[in-house]
A and B are shown apart, each in its own frame.
Chain A
Amino acid sequence: MGNTPRATRRYSARSPLVGYLLRRLGTSVLLLFGVTIVTFALANLVPGDPIAAALGEGAASNPATVEAYIKERGLDQPLPVQYANYIGGLFQGDMGISLRTTQPVADDLAKAVPATVEIALLAIIVSLGIGVALGSLAAYRRGKISDQLVRVFSLIGLSIPTFWMALVSFNFFFLQLRIAPGSGRLSPALAPPPTVTGFYTADALLAGQWVTFTDALAHLMLPVFVLSLFTIGLLTRFVRTSVLEVLDADYVRAGRAKGLSGSRLLFGYVLRGASLPILTIVGLAFGTLLSGTVLVEAVFAWPGLGSYAYNSATSLDLPGVMGVGLVVGVVYLSINFAVDLLYGVLDPRVRLA
């Protein structure tokens, strides 16, 4: 093994990761098609009258309009053809016209995605930081009072209806205490920074607009806090379990036997060992965050996917709702693919032969 020539080792060291990633990519693409089938089926096959829904009651009562719509959309053709048309349309960015905004859904969503991703990314960072800290603490103090307290707090975190928490905290911190900024992404007096990433905080930093940056960050705080409560609970519990398992591992005992200090052992050995299961749950946590935005953004008038979904749902704008479902499905799939990628990077057994 040790005598293997360098060249072949290089080769064998690279191929497993590539193979692994190709497999994961294949799965993701298949699921992506699955996602489109689901949204297509829901938009076209469910009981109820999609045409009436698309045209609105008034227009749907006019046979000529309905006829024209059916022709235009190809709704008289067999289902597989309709699906092919649907996919073809998606590739050209056609997700239908929103009944509520009368704009193409794709255009509306393109504007909304960065706002939501900004919130979700920040929330995942906050949740991960707090979750790892609390989960490790609980694992190290297994069975002690602090462990029990963490357990109760994380269970409460998992029990809070986020949309209610959004309302209550907005009411309390903004309307009563006046310490949180109002709704939206920026104070009305400020102009959005020039778009690079679409994240106001990052863009403001890139443009060197310090005031805009702090204002954007301040507007993020409350929504991120509300969204994070659930994921903090989720991650804390999971980190605790993973760390407990690793604390029991021989390599941690071996690290102790080497006389490594507590912090070196925690960060270098324990958390590194627990990183793979934690990473898996981070992917899942992203899903709950995206779910959460639908219920939270509307309260803060945050112009993201969540508000769009809320407004589409409450006004029964079916194309809008389907568009959100599709885009969030794609975002979620991409995140899970990124998690797989990171998994390959973090685990040398996947990365190397």
Chain B
Amino acid sequence: MRTRWLKIPAAWITPLGVIGAVIAITWVGIAFTARLWVPFDPLSQDLPRLQAPGIDTLMGTDALGRDIFSRLMTGASVTIPLALMLVLMSLAVGTLIGAIAGYFGKWVDELLMRLTDLVMAFPTVILAMVVAAALGPSLFNAVIAAFVVSWPQYARMTRSIVLGLRTQNYVMAGRLMGFSPFKTLRVDIAPNVVGPILVLASLDVGTAILLLSGLSFLGLGAQPPTAEWGSMISAAIQNFDSWWIGLFPGLAILTVVMAFNFVGDSLRDIFDPTSQVSRAGARS
């Protein structure tokens, strides 16, 4: 069980995973370097307005005369790092809470799980919207709102794994040997949680990007003039005829999210062999 994920290499090479990883790495690269090489200042409004894509402006210009290509590329440096940070935050907090709930059980578990129930009683975007609106519109508050709705899934998953492990012999043995709760969690339980959590996290990067850009689309995230994909699409509603304003930012979101989903789904095959290994081996 614990050595399973050491034999990854051969299984890594799935077309889906490779395609996803290449696209994802490309976007992350763009996110960190875009400011150095984009042709125009993403905020300057000196270009002709609503210009269709052409040789000067690859993806056209928006209603304020800004270069969409430059905004799109620098937009990556807004959304992608925030999404990654959001996932790390939810992962850290959610996993810790789930582990505590599963390990200590009783009223601690009851309390924490009712809390997750409460969050999950709302559809995610709705709750995030309500929280963001209450906190006031800003990109930072949008990240907080997204965090509020995304930690419970990590808590739930970790809790159920820990609950299953708590009674396993080797975990019991550790406890009998006098391991402290946190040593037990770290030594005996953490290695079993890593795989499933990693799968969840990589799929969650996509969800985080969709959520953050959705909040910005609603005007509750990035504020003008920040170049952010969701708010760029939102601006397109006022200019239906200039199709390029909305088309490209959407494609950017689609490709990033798809890339992370491809990676996550391939990771799932590796960490959860039951999902892919042939069930052909009949009883005999």
Task: Verify that A and B bind, or say they do not.
Answer: yes
Taking Cβ atoms with an 8 Å cutoff, the residues of A that contact B are 31, 34-35, 37-39, 42-43, 46-48, 143, 151-152, 155-156, 158-161, 163-165, 167-168, 170-171, 175, 241, 244, 248, 286-288, 290-292, 294-295, 298-299, 309-310, 312-314, 316, 318, 321-322, 324-325, 328-329, 332-333
Question: Contact between B262 and A155 (Cβ–Cβ < 8 Å)?
Answer: yes
B266 shortest CB reach to chain A, Å: 10
Distance between Cα atoms of A160 and B114 in the complex (Å): 32
Closest B residue to A156 using CB positions: B258
Residues in chain A near residue B131, CB distance under 8 A: 42
Q: A143-B278, A163-B217, A309-B126 are in contact. Are A42 and B134 (CB under 8 A)?
A: yes
Q: Is B250 an interface residue (CB 8 A)?
A: yes
Q: Is B118 an interface residue (CB 8 A)?
A: yes
Interface size class of chain B, counting residues whose CB lies under 8 Å from the partner chain? 35 or more
Task: Name 6 A/B residue pairs within 8 A (Cβ), A-sorted.
Answer: A161-B210, A168-B243, A248-B279, A309-B129, A313-B132, A318-B134
**Residue from B118, B129, B219, B243 within 8 A of A325 (CB atoms):** B129
Residues in chain B near residue A46, CB distance under 8 A: 134-135
Question: Contact between B123 and A287 (Cβ–Cβ < 8 Å)?
Answer: yes
Distance between Cα atoms of A38 and B136 in the complex (Å): 16
Question: Contact between A325 and B233 (Cβ–Cβ < 8 Å)?
Answer: no
Distance between Cα atoms of A159 and B255 in the complex (Å): 8
Q: Is B64 an interface residue (CB 8 A)?
A: no
Q: A313-B133, A313-B218 are in contact. Are A164 and B123 (CB under 8 A)?
A: no
B106 shortest CB reach to chain A, Å: 19
- From B40-48, B165-173, B234-242, give the one contacting chain A: B234-242
**Residue from B118, B240, B253, B261 within 8 A of A171 (CB atoms):** B240
B49 shortest CB reach to chain A, Å: 19
Closest A residue to B119 using CB positions: A38
Distance between Cα atoms of A35 and B117 in the complex (Å): 10
Q: Is B108 an interface residue (CB 8 A)?
A: no
Residues in chain B near residue A322, CB distance under 8 A: 130, 133-134
Distance between Cα atoms of A16 and B258 in the complex (Å): 45
Residues in chain A near residue B124, CB distance under 8 A: 287-288, 291
Question: Contact between A161 and B213 (Cβ–Cβ < 8 Å)?
Answer: yes
Distance between Cα atoms of A168 and B249 in the complex (Å): 11
Q: A46-B135, A155-B258 are in contact. Are A332 and B123 (CB under 8 A)?
A: yes
**Residue from A48, A161, A171, A329 within 8 A of B126 (CB atoms):** A329
Distance between Cα atoms of A151 and B14 in the complex (Å): 13
**Residue from A155, A159, A314, A321 within 8 A of B130 (CB atoms):** A321
Given A168-B247, A290-B123, A313-B132, 9 more contacts at CB 8 Å?
A38-B118, A167-B237, A294-B126, A298-B237, A312-B133, A313-B219, A322-B133, A325-B129, A328-B122
Q: A31-B121, A163-B214 are in contact. Are A168 and B250 (CB under 8 A)?
A: yes
Distance between Cα atoms of A235 and B215 in the complex (Å): 25
Question: Contact between A48 and B121 (Cβ–Cβ < 8 Å)?
Answer: no
Question: Contact between B134 and A43 (Cβ–Cβ < 8 Å)?
Answer: yes
B269 shortest CB reach to chain A, Å: 10
Distance between Cα atoms of A34 and B116 in the complex (Å): 11
Q: A151-B265, A158-B261 are in contact. Are A48 and B240 (CB under 8 A)?
A: no
Residues in chain A near residue B217, CB distance under 8 A: 163, 295
Residues in chain B near residue A48, CB distance under 8 A: 134-136
Q: A34-B121, A321-B133 are in contact. Are A171 and B243 (CB under 8 A)?
A: yes
A151 shortest CB reach to chain B, Å: 7
Residues in chain B near residue A152, CB distance under 8 A: 16
Residues in chain B near residue A167, CB distance under 8 A: 233, 236-237, 246, 250
A232 shortest CB reach to chain B, Å: 15
Closest B residue to A37 using CB positions: B118
Question: Contact between A161 and B121 (Cβ–Cβ < 8 Å)?
Answer: no
B122 shortest CB reach to chain A, Å: 5
Distance between Cα atoms of A234 and B134 in the complex (Å): 30
Distance between Cα atoms of A151 and B17 in the complex (Å): 12
**Interface centre among A37, A167, A290, by most B CB within 10 Å?**
A167
A323 shortest CB reach to chain B, Å: 10
Distance between Cα atoms of A179 and B22 in the complex (Å): 38
Question: Contact between B206 and A47 (Cβ–Cβ < 8 Å)?
Answer: no
**Residue from A47, A298, A316 within 8 A of B137 (CB atoms):** A316
Q: A34-B117, A291-B124 are in contact. Are A161 and B133 (CB under 8 A)?
A: no
Q: Is B91 an interface residue (CB 8 A)?
A: no
Q: Is B275 an interface residue (CB 8 A)?
A: yes
Q: Is B111 an interface residue (CB 8 A)?
A: no
Distance between Cα atoms of A291 and B207 in the complex (Å): 13
Q: A42-B131, A167-B233, A314-B218 are in contact. Are A324 and B254 (CB under 8 A)?
A: no
Distance between Cα atoms of A349 and B249 in the complex (Å): 50
Residues in chain B near residue A165, CB distance under 8 A: 250
1/0 contact trace for B262-282 toward A, CB 8 Å? Answer: 100100000000010011000
Distance between Cα atoms of A310 and B214 in the complex (Å): 11
Q: Is B38 an interface residue (CB 8 A)?
A: no
10 nearest A-B pairs in the assembled complex, by CB-CB distance: A164-B250, A291-B125, A325-B130, A287-B123, A159-B258, A159-B257, A42-B134, A314-B219, A321-B133, A291-B123
**Interface centre among B117, B217, B253, B257, by most A CB within 10 Å?**
B217
**Residue from B218, B249, B262, B275 within 8 A of A295 (CB atoms):** B218
Residues in chain B near residue A332, CB distance under 8 A: 121-123
Question: Contact between B137 and A325 (Cβ–Cβ < 8 Å)?
Answer: no
Question: Contact between A168 and B246 (Cβ–Cβ < 8 Å)?
Answer: yes
B234 shortest CB reach to chain A, Å: 8
Residues in chain A near residue B121, CB distance under 8 A: 31, 34-35, 329, 332-333
Residues in chain A near residue B127, CB distance under 8 A: 38, 325
